[in-house]
Amino acid sequence: MTDAPKPVTVHDLLKMKQAGERIVVLTCYDALFARLLDASGVDILLVGDSVNQVLAGAETTLSATLEQMIYHTKIVRRGAQMIYHTKIVRRGAERALVVCDMPFLTYQVSPAEAIRNCGRVMAETGCQGVKLEGGRPIADTVRALVDVGIPVMGHLGLTPQSVHALGGYRVQGRDEQTAERLKGDAQGLEEAGAFAVVLELIPAPLASQISKALTIPTIGVGAGPACDGQVLVLHDMLGLNDRFNAKFVKRYAALAQEVREAVALYAAEVREGRYPGPEHSFAK
């Protein structure tokens, strides 16, 4: 009997950065994939508000809500169906650190409301951290959360909850003024106590400068190779979402095509009477 894997903690992530070990992050929305990713050595499972885009077909992440996440988690607990949020992911993961995205307007109103909502997520889901979008404007909120024992991951650059204010999904920090602001935002998040910062869609040289300046890990997505770790949306990386084509995404499989072929074969066998066969049937 092998020993259970040692769970990854926020302190381990800091040690990994100090040792030059790259941190592997993927989004995850259900227990089945949580077990598969955990067994494959993924360090962080990010339960993203991207679930509404990936699984529900929404245009943005803005429609994801705290109540929706809790509702889905309760459905999972009742065993009604496999659904896609933090508690079921926590059940599926033994080693990986599970971080939950806080939805739009669950932390921006006030530090007190952020504590209440983030605390509720931590208590009801069993996750080990929350992720908030924004820089210095939310530093006081991050500090308040950390002060009550809630680990916080930051998120800078292209922040999807601000997609309309940013003018769409485009690279951030290309001009000197924005680049300097992002550097200051990253430093502000570290000073506020964040344990890591996601850098999304920023130029690689800027991401490198920020990564070198911070003592906490940076997790890149479309931010070049110098970040301390990398994250991708699982369904993009597996080629399940084959309609999404972005420069920063590398497809490690082509599962959408495999699914289509498998379903087409199943349909043909059912229609032709070849499935189920004797080996799939019970005599008594």
Indicate which residue of 59, 190, 200, 272 is catalytic.
200
In angstroms, the Cα distances linking 224 to 64, 85, 184, 210 are: 28, 29, 19, 12
At 203, list the tokens: 């130029």
CB 20 within 8 A of CB 138: no
CB 216 within 8 A of CB 17: yes
CB 28 within 8 A of CB 234: yes
**Coil, strand, or helix at residue 54?**
helix
Catalytic, 279? Answer: no
Q: Which of 122, 142, 130 is nearest to 193 (CA)?
A: 142
| Contacts of 192 by beta carbon, 8 Å cutoff, 6+ apart | 139, 140, 142, 143, 146, 152
Count of C-beta atoms within a 10 Å radius of residue 11: 10
Q: Facing residues of 46 across strands?
A: 27, 99
Catalytic sites, residue numbers? 200
